[in-house]
Amino acid sequence: MSLTVNFGYALSKKLAGHGISNEMLKPALERTAKALDHIRTERGANKLPYLDLPEDGKTKAACKELADKYDGYENFLLSGIGGSSLGPLAIFNALGHPLHNMLSGAKRKNHPRFFALDNVDPVQVDALFNFCKPEKTVYNIISKSGATAETASASLIIFDLLKKRMGNDWKKNIVCTTDPTSGDLRKLCNDEKLQTLPLHSGVGGRFSVLTPVGLFPSYCLGFDVDAMLAGAAEMRERCLDSDVQKNPAAQMAALLYLFDSTQHKKMHVMMAYANGLYGMADWFRQLWAESLGKELDNEGRVVNVGPTPLKALGATDQHSQVQLYIEGPYDKVFLFLECKKFGKRVKLPELYDNVSSLNYLGGQTMNKLIAAEFAATREALAQRGRPSITITFPEIDAHAVGEFFMLWEMTTSLAGALYRINPYDQPGVELGKQLTYGLMGRAGFEDKAKGIKV
C-alpha cells in the first residue's frame, strides 16, 4: 500500500476558473522534466546525498546498535532545533500513542517517553530537566555545527548536570548527532570521547530526517525503521519517473509553483485530517519555507520569492479557519492529508432517538464522521473556487511516513528549480544569529548589536 496523490481538485475543470488548466500545466511540467534530469545528474555526482539515505545500511546499523544500549530507559530527551527536531517530532506524533508520555512503562512497552528540548524558554527547560532523572534518560544532542546558540546552551546544562550526577559515568547517557568531521561539537566529542552518530555531510538540516536525526530516536521508540526507509526508497523511484504525468513530485511542484506565480495563491495550507499527521505539517512547514523563501535567484537578481506554508488540523480548524478559507481572498491552495484507515474504530452509541441533532449519528462510527467532514470541506471549498490537492495515507504507519518525507523533499528540489533559486541554503538567518551573538557578548561579535535594547 502506498500514498496516493489526487490532483483533481487543483485543475480548472472542477473549479470554475480558479484552478490550473492543462494549457498552463504543460510548459511547467516540461520545465520540471528538465529539472528532474538535472537532479539525476547531480545525484550521479554525489551532490544530492539525501536521495540515497535509504540505502545507508552502515549508519542504520550504528543507530540500532546505540539504541539497544538504552533499552528500558525511561526518557529520551532530544536537544535540537529546526531540522534537528521537527523530523523526530513528526515521526513521534505519527507513530506514537497520542498519550504516549503519560502511559505507564508497561503500556509503553518499556519504550522511553519522548521530549524535544527545541526552545530556550526557561520554564520549559526547567520543567524538562526537573522531570527527567538523568540516570534513566538518554540525552540526544543534535547539531550539525555545534554553533547554534540554542542547542549549545542546552548542551552546557546537560554536560554539567551529568557530570554532577553521574561522576565518571557522565558520558554514558549522551549521544551527539553531528557532522562526521567538522564543527565545534565534533571537536568536543572527539576531545571528550563522547558517543556520536554522523549527520551526513552534504545533507542539510531540513533534509536530514532519514539520517540518525530521525533514525536513532525511532529505534529507541520502537518504530519500524526498515519500513520507513523502504517507503522513502519506493517514493524516490516514483518521483524519479521521467513520465511526469505519473510522477507525484513533478505534478506537485509544477502545480504549487503555478498557483503561486500565476494566481497569487501564495499560501499553501497543509490541513491534516488526523491528529497523528499534524506533526507532518509542521515538518513540511520548515522544509517549504526555508527552502523556497529567498531574496536572490540563481543569477543573483533580487526576487524575494517564496510561498508561505501554513498548518491546519481537520476537523478542528473547520471551526477556526474555514470561514476565512472559503470566503476570504483567493490567495490559498490546500494540501489535505487524508487517512483512509485509522488505528482505532470508534462506534457512536444510539441514544436520544428524539433529538434530531443526535439521532442520525447513533450506530455510525467516528471514522465515518471524520471522513465525511473531510469530503464535505474539500467539496465546499471547490464549489467556492478554492483548489486543493489530497495526499491519502492508506494508514498511518512507518512506510507511509517514509514515503511522505521523500515526496516532499523531492518536490522541494524540483520547486527550487522552478523558482530558479537555491533550495539548500538559508542566508537570511545569518543576520539574526550575529545580532544574538553580539547581544550575548560573544568574542568577535561585540559591535554587531550596538544600539539594540534588550
- Specify the residue, 45 or 99, whose C-beta has the smaller distance to a second copy: 99
Interface stretch with a second copy, choices 15-23, 37-45, 96-104, 403-411 (CB under 8 A): 96-104
Q: Which helix (H) or strand (E) holds 201?
A: none
Q: Of 150, 142, 145, 151, whose CA–CA distance to 196 is shortest?
A: 142
- Specify the residue, 233 or 257, whose C-beta has the smaller distance to a second copy: 257
Least distance (Å) from a second copy to the CB of residue 49?
21
Given candidates 138, 310, 337, 414, which one binds a second copy under the rule CB under 8 A? Answer: 310
Catalytic residue among 14, 97, 172, 433: 433
* In contact, 402 and 50? CB cutoff 8 Å: no
Asked if residue 82 binds a second copy (CB under 8 A), the reply is yes
* Residues 210-239, mask of contacts with a second copy (x by CB under 8 A): ------------------------------
Residue 433 annotated to the active site:
yes
Q: Of 34, 44, 50, whose CA–CA distance to 420 is shortest?
A: 34
The whole-angstrom separation of Cα 214 and Cα 174 is 16
* In contact, 326 and 384? CB cutoff 8 Å: yes
Asked if residue 173 binds a second copy (CB under 8 A), the reply is no
Residue 400, preceding peptide bond in cis (omega within 30° of 0): no
C-alpha cell at 206: 531540513
Q: What is the DSSP letter of 179?
A: -
C-alpha cell at 331: 490567495
The whole-angstrom separation of Cα 418 and Cα 191 is 45
Please count the helices (runs of H) and the strands (runs of E) in the chain.
Answer: 14, 12
Interface stretch with a second copy, choices 168-176, 234-242, 323-331, 401-409 (CB under 8 A): 323-331
* In contact, 76 and 223? CB cutoff 8 Å: no
Segment 18 to 77, residues that bind a second copy, using CB under 8 A: none
Segment 185 to 214, residues that bind a second copy, using CB under 8 A: 187-188, 205
Asked if residue 279 binds a second copy (CB under 8 A), the reply is no
**Count of residues that bind a second copy according to CB under 8 A:** 128
Residue 264 annotated to the active site:
no
Asked if residue 91 binds a second copy (CB under 8 A), the reply is no
Asked if residue 420 binds a second copy (CB under 8 A), the reply is no
Least distance (Å) from a second copy to the CB of residue 198?
19
Catalytic residue among 150, 290, 338, 409: 290
Please report, as a single letter, which amino acid is at residue 96. Answer: G
Asked if residue 440 binds a second copy (CB under 8 A), the reply is yes
The whole-angstrom separation of Cα 117 and Cα 134 is 15
Please report, as a single letter, which amino acid is at residue 123. Answer: V
Residue 299 annotated to the active site:
no
Least distance (Å) from a second copy to the CB of residue 345?
6
Q: What is the DSSP string of 263-305?
A: H---EEEEEESSGGGHHHHHHHHHHHHHHH-EEE-TTS-EEEE
The whole-angstrom separation of Cα 314 and Cα 291 is 26
- Specify the residue, 40 or 100, whose C-beta has the smaller distance to a second copy: 100
Segment 132 to 161, residues that bind a second copy, using CB under 8 A: 145-150, 152-153, 155-157, 159-160
- Specify the residue, 152 or 166, whose C-beta has the smaller distance to a second copy: 152
Given candidates 167, 193, 243, 443, which one binds a second copy under the rule CB under 8 A? Answer: 443
Grid-cell match 535594547, residue found: 453
Asked if residue 319 binds a second copy (CB under 8 A), the reply is yes
- Specify the residue, 245 or 354, whose C-beta has the smaller distance to a second copy: 354
Asked if residue 97 binds a second copy (CB under 8 A), the reply is yes
Given candidates 12, 365, 392, 422, which one binds a second copy under the rule CB under 8 A? Answer: 365
Given candidates 79, 294, 391, 411, which one binds a second copy under the rule CB under 8 A? Answer: 294
The whole-angstrom separation of Cα 26 and Cα 334 is 21
Given candidates 55, 127, 181, 298, which one binds a second copy under the rule CB under 8 A? Answer: 127
Asked if residue 327 binds a second copy (CB under 8 A), the reply is yes
Q: Of 213, 89, 192, 211, whose CA–CA distance to 140 is shortest?
A: 213
Asked if residue 125 binds a second copy (CB under 8 A), the reply is yes
Strand partners, 4: 392
Asked if residue 362 binds a second copy (CB under 8 A), the reply is yes
Q: Of 155, 180, 159, 191, whose CA–CA distance to 80 is shortest?
A: 155
Segment 373 to 412, residues that bind a second copy, using CB under 8 A: 373, 375-377, 379-380, 383-384
Asked if residue 166 binds a second copy (CB under 8 A), the reply is no
Q: What is the DSSP string of 321-363?
A: THHHHHHS-S-EEEEEEEEEE-S---BPP---TT-TTTTTTTT
Annotated catalytic residues are 290, 319, 433
